[in-house]
Amino acid sequence: QVPGMSGAALVQVAETVRKRSRLASEIIGDVLAAQFLIVPVALLFVWLGLTRGIEPLNDLTAAIRGRKPGDLAPIDEADAPEEARPLIGAFNELLARLDASLRAQQRFVADAAHQMRTPLAGLKMQAEIAMRQRDPVNLQHAMRQIVASADRTSHLINQLLALARADSDSPPALRP
């Protein structure tokens, strides 16, 4: 009984400092033992989760690296993770622009070849005519036509080179 308090009792407990230190050491030991078990298991789960989570990106990387140089087909977004779809969409847009650029370049090369064939055929014909001329006046006239055709061909080649060097975003500065 506690004096002045009815129905209350005072209980005092005492421990030795050694017993209290041993109890603290046991608690710390148990906590550390659990940590030594939990941390490696948690690291294993994190490693497995990251490996599995990155697997679709690794598959995408392998698919892109395995493509042939001329394969500009879009990449299928259906199997890709949701987070990677914007990147795949941007990559597909880039492939589409590259495909359009390559097609334009192929058309340009075909047109340039056609444009070069005509003046070269004319030069060859004029040279053949000049080779048959016996009259110096006619020979001189044929040679002037060859020089004029060569000048036109040279001008065309210079325009084509300027166009090839020009930045695709800015129009080339060609003279008519």
Compute the mean pLDDT over every residue in the chain, rounded to the nearest whole number: 83
Q: How distant, in Å, are the alpha carbons of 46, 49, 134 from that of 36?
A: 16, 20, 106
Q: How distant, in Å, are the alpha carbons of 81, 123, 146, 148, 153 from that of 140?
A: 75, 15, 10, 12, 20
**Cα Rg, the chain, nearest whole Å:** 43
pLDDT tens string for the chain (176 positions)? 566 777 777 778 888 899 989 999 999 999 988 888 899 999 999 999 998 888 888 888 888 889 898 889 988 888 777 888 898 899 999 999 999 988 888 888 888 888 788 878 888 888 888 888 888 888 888 888 889 888 888 888 888 778 777 655 454 454 55
* Model pLDDT, residue 38: 92
C-alpha 157/C-alpha 24 separation (Å) is: 91
C-alpha 21/C-alpha 37 separation (Å) is: 24
